Amino acid sequence: MEVKIIVLALYALTIIVLGIRGMKKTNSFSDFMLGGGNVGPWMSAFSYGTAYFSAVVFIGFAGKIGWGFGFSGVWIGVFNALIGVLGVWWLMAWKIKQTSTRYNISTMGEYFEIRYKAKYFKLYAAIVIFIFFIPYSAAVFQGLSYLFEISLPGVEYWQAVVGMGLFTSIYLVMGGYKSMSVIDTFFGMIMTVGVIMLAVFTINGGGGLTNIANELSAIKPKLTETVGPPGLWKLFSLIMLTSLAPFAMPQLVQKFYAIKDKRSIKIGMMASTVFALLIGGIAYFVGSTGRLFVTTETAPHAFNEAGKPIFDMIMPELLTQIIPEYLFIIILVLILSASMSTLAALVLISSSTLTKDFYAGYINKKVSDKNLTLLTRIASVVFIVLSVALALMKLDTIVAILGVSWGAIGAAFLGPFIWGLFTDFCNKFGAYASSFIGLGLTIYLYASGWSSPEAGTIGMLVSLVLNPIASFIADFIITTYRMKKFLNKDDEKQPKLGSYAKTK
């Protein structure tokens, strides 16, 4: 116990020192938000990867999906890397960087306003981001706190949640994006070492890959098949939710605003993809072994009175079963690192939308750069307080909470962002229609009993398909109306037959 506390204290001290260094280099809002727009490939790669993966993946998704899907859950990690990382970097990174430079923007709301010439889209985007990033942050706090509760005897859930909230506030408010990028590189290195160690201990603890497969098959044969027991549609919706949403997730898109140049994108793309394959693949593989290590006898706290698993407790209990006590601190720091990075990205985006998009955009357009930076720091603390409060409520499983957040934001922004970035013909009518209908459909389906991954997937696909269709219809209606108006005016200029005859 003492060793864990010492290591965590040293870890915290390192983060604070890096935060102080970042604060000294932060002289403007651009520095605070984008690191001056001059962040190199390795920092960008680790920053993207660590913002993608957090305690949400390691604790919530790996535990619940691994238990239900078995080995097929690994497909989610693979497609996350190939679509959500490689695809995003390859198809969009340089385009996003060029657009952010051309429009001189630092938030997604600003992009929508300028690209679509839609004055109130920025306000709408700010509201959506702030509202739906709060449950996302709460899910991260929730997953991390479950792990602390299990691994550090005497630490209660609420203490872990509040403590993480305070720590996040301190290090992020000090240095902003530049500080975060340096720390993310540090986090990424810890995560790389940690997941490799986690894979080794899981395989050894299970008696080798063959034995793990045989034991899972004996429990339920489909746990080792290409598609697990819940079926193809359930697996597809999880893959799409976690792989397609990153194409329009503000905290990930922002990484490309800040990247240095095209060369940095090429290096960052490869590094980030390898990192994602490693982190995602191992996390879901370890989660698939949950049924072997976590039982009512070995981990009674992970099951309710009816004997059903409490999914958010599966991975914390599993980790305590397979990792030796003297090495457990490394895994604790691994998941802590992943979570801190994600939290920092969420807080930074949410606070900036509130201050730059809402306050500076609609209330005080002449606010000074210095005051805007100060307000963003204050807004960061407010956002963290709200997220901590929601995490303390434990409203649902981590997978359900994240599904609502990612699904809603993906449905609201996917259609407008992608079509706006790559085409000129999509207009504000298509953007508004695809965003409103996609988001509304996601919320309706979830309220009607669909799972959040299913609701989010349908909403995102509708948003993506609807923008060009609605834009075409709007353009056709407007063109037809203008043509009729023009012809009517032309007819009015022509003399009537009677009046013409009279002049003769």
Rounded to whole angstroms, the Cα distance separating 372 from 387 reads: 22
Rounded to whole angstroms, the Cα distance separating 444 from 457 reads: 13
What's the pLDDT score for residue 484? 79
pLDDT above 50: residue 500: no
Average pLDDT over residues 459-487: 89
CB-neighbour burial class of residue 91 (10 A; exposed 0-12, middle 13-18, buried 19+): middle
pLDDT above 60: residue 53: yes
What's the pLDDT score for residue 495? 55
pLDDT above 90: residue 17: no
Average pLDDT over residues 323-346: 78
Taking all residues of the chain, what is their mean pLDDT, rounded to a whole number? 85
- CA 282 to the chain's CA centroid: 19
What's the pLDDT score for residue 494? 53
Average pLDDT over residues 472-501: 69
Which residues on adjacent β-strands are paired with residue 303? 309
Nearest to 85 by CA among 270, 284, 295: 270
In which band, very low, low, confident or very high, does the pLDDT at 491 lie, cut at 50, 70 and 90?
A: low
Average pLDDT over residues 425-453: 95
Rounded to whole angstroms, the Cα distance separating 301 from 99 reads: 51
CATH C-level class of 2-395: mainly alpha
In which band, very low, low, confident or very high, does the pLDDT at 207 lie, cut at 50, 70 and 90?
A: very high
Phi-psi sector, 426: left (phi>0), alpha (psi -120 to 50), beta: beta
pLDDT above 60: residue 37: no
What's the pLDDT score for residue 498? 44
Contacts of 126 (CB under 8 A, 6+ apart): 107, 109, 353, 354, 357, 358, 361
Q: How many Cβ atoms from other residues are within 10 Å of residue 214's Cβ?
A: 13
Contacts of 111 (CB under 8 A, 6+ apart): 99, 100, 103, 105, 417, 420
pTM for the model:
0.85
Contacts of 31 (CB under 8 A, 6+ apart): 25, 176, 177, 178
Average pLDDT over residues 38-46: 73
Average pLDDT over residues 350-378: 83
Average pLDDT over residues 477-491: 76
Average pLDDT over residues 168-179: 65
pLDDT above 90: residue 224: yes
Among 91-95, 437-441, 478-482, name the one with the lowest average pLDDT: 478-482
Q: Which amino acid is at 210?
A: T
pLDDT above 60: residue 309: yes
Q: How many Cβ atoms from other residues are within 10 Å of residue 439's Cβ?
A: 24
pLDDT above 60: residue 345: yes
CB-neighbour burial class of residue 319 (10 A; exposed 0-12, middle 13-18, buried 19+): buried
pLDDT above 70: residue 496: no
Helix ranges (DSSP H) in 353-397: 369-393
Q: Which residue has the higher pLDDT, 455 or 21?
A: 455
In which band, very low, low, confident or very high, does the pLDDT at 226 lie, cut at 50, 70 and 90?
A: very high
CB 259 within 8 Å of CB 93: yes
What's the pLDDT score for residue 431? 96
pLDDT above 60: residue 493: no
Rounded to whole angstroms, the Cα distance separating 430 from 426 reads: 6
Q: Which residue has the higher pLDDT, 316 or 438?
A: 438
Contacts of 7 (CB under 8 A, 6+ apart): 329, 333
pLDDT above 50: residue 296: yes
DSSP letter for 119, please. Answer: T
pLDDT above 70: residue 181: no
Average pLDDT over residues 222-242: 95
What's the pLDDT score for residue 501? 38
Backbone angles phi, psi at 39, to 5 degrees: -90, 135
CB 382 within 8 Å of CB 154: no
Among 70-74, 107-111, 370-374, name the one with the lowest average pLDDT: 370-374
